[in-house]
A = this chain, B = another copy of it.
Amino acid sequence: MADPKRRKRSGGRAGNTRREAAAIDQMPWRLPQNIDRPTEPLTPEGVEAVHDGAMRILEEIGIDFLNEEAIEIFKEAGCKVDGENVKMDREWVMEMLSHAPSDFHITPRNPDKQIHVGGKTMLFGNVSSPPNYYDIEQGRKTPGTREQCANLLKLTQYFNCIHFAGGYPVEPVDVHASVRHLDVVHDKLLLTDKVVHAYSLGKERVEDVMEMVRIAGGMTHEEFDARPHMYTNINSTSPLKHDEPMIDGCLRLARRGQAIFVTPFTLAGAMAPVTMAGAVAQSIAEALAAIVLFQYVRPGVPCVIGTFTSNVDMKSGAPAFGTPEYMRATQMTGQMARFYKLPMRASGSCAANVPDGQAMWETSNALWSAVQSGTNIVYHAAGWLEGGLIASPEKFIMDCEVIQMIQRYMEPAITAAGPDEIAFDAIKEVGSGGHFFGIDHTQERYETAFYQPFVSDWRNFEAWEVTGGMWTAERAHRTYKQILEEFEAPAMDVAIADELREFVERRKREGGAPTDF
């Protein structure tokens, strides 16, 4: 890694800092600490009621596992198994949960980009898995491509406020499904050095991605297995069902000590009760059913409980995001995650189709509810449109501004109230006739005192108009193009890069993964 020739050949510096000439002047990499007391809409009795509801679902209704291996494991563990249906006692559930760590680390190929999951740490990741792409230059929605996917991966790497790479930031449907995971994870490992993800979509995919992450980190198999280097994220098939490939992928990761996020997608009124506490209770039951399975298989494997509880549009049945109900469901799930002492995942989401006002109020609602709920991992935090059906680079840029503001908001320095901050002497010095611009107290602090935006335009109307009168999405588009132009991939050892390429080529020759599921 220290050989400058090698380093030059395989890529430059990751991210950028204020000291470098750069498209934007962004905040440095850090793991933000959420210092706010969470907003807790459930009373203590309400928490008990949701818990009891979830436990009764597990005990009396049960969860379907369309995975034979899981069924055998549940039998072995003494659960009540009837076909695909599994019922489990709350005592056993709570015992399994007691093995789950309340926080852990994931270490990607660049150890400086290690993340801490849990506690007060709050992390943000890129949009994952939209099948379509929209930008204002093309002005329409089209199926995603590998190039668009790579461009969004560059944004994922570029922004220091984005801590991990989720799934494909857009589904590259121009790459055959049998080898898509090979090409895109290859791109991802070259273009980013942050924590990456594997889709749980069949054993070949999961095993391939684990192997690629191992190679990219220059690790032995033992080193890979020794601690988390990657993660998978699964949804349940609500109501009350876990599918074959999802559970299979998780079991494979669990056995190698990698991290697992379980995120039911419970739309109140459709796949879950119309009442939000009921939708949360069902979501908790579905998530816990999988997490306890993984804890039984490998006690202590790092698991995250996720929430994707929202509501449908009463008129059309379409899913809605960033609604008042969504916010409260997220906050309630935060209370439950703390009750079970599990790290929590939420999302930045919206129903809007373009990066406009609606997109930003819905996403702001979603992101602030993540802050208020004490969420540790925010999935889809940048780039999401149309309820997750569209990835947008402009939205990615705009979301990163909001995310940076949230990270700045969490700095305790803003609300420090010591004598230097109360600034009595400065107030006395200025008195009633002057202003604070020129005094020492201001001069010593003004460069770092306030959040500095990169896409917000704070100039007055006339100055803004004279330089083109660009609305936010247009400014964001220009920033996006500028970032792409100057992007340098993070360094990778040439031998590692070769090994990775050879692995991908070999696996392609072998046919990749089956696509008949």
Contacts and interface: CB of A to CB of B under 8 A. Distances in A.
A318 B459 contact: yes
A272 B436 CA distance: 6
A121 interface: no
A208 to B, nearest CB: 31
A318 B472 contact: no
B450 A361 contact: no
Contacts of A409: 324, 327-328
A54 to B, nearest CB: 9
A58 to B, nearest CB: 11
A409 B328 CA distance: 7
B57 A356 contact: no
Contacts of A428: 60-61
On chain A, which size bracket covers the interface?
35 or more
A63 interface: yes
A39 B41 contact: no
A271 to B, nearest CB: 6
Question: Copy number of this protein in the oligomer?
Answer: 2
Interface string A434-478: 111100011001110111100111111100110001011100100
Tell me which of A269, A328, A365, A414 has the highest count of chain B C-beta atoms within 10 A of its own C-beta. Answer: A414
A161 interface: no
A426 interface: yes
Interface stretch (A96-104, A151-159, A308-316): A308-316
A511 interface: no
Contact of A368 (B282, B314, B368, B436): B368
A431 interface: yes
Tell me which of A323, A434, A452 has the highest count of chain B C-beta atoms within 10 A of its own C-beta. Answer: A323
A170 interface: no
Interface stretch (A223-231, A294-302, A400-408, A492-500): A400-408
Contacts of A35: 41
Nearest to A363: B361
A239 interface: yes
A271 B439 CA distance: 12
Given A389-B460, A459-B318, A324 B451 contact: yes
Contact of A332 (B415, B455, B465): B415
A351 B57 contact: no
A89 interface: no
Nearest to A48: B417
B57 A424 contact: yes
A271 B450 CA distance: 15
Interface in A57-83: 57, 60-61, 63-64
30 contacts: A35-B41, A36-B39, A37-B39, A42-B415, A57-B424, A63-B432, A134-B461, A239-B432, A272-B436, A273-B421, A273-B426, A273-B436, A277-B416, A277-B421, A278-B426, A281-B424, A314-B447, A318-B458, A320-B450, A323-B451, A324-B406, A324-B408, A325-B414, A327-B409, A352-B457, A353-B457, A353-B464, A357-B357, A365-B405, A386-B461
Given A277-B416, A278-B427, 12 more contacts: A35-B41, A36-B39, A41-B414, A49-B419, A239-B435, A268-B449, A274-B446, A276-B421, A324-B409, A331-B415, A357-B360, A358-B455
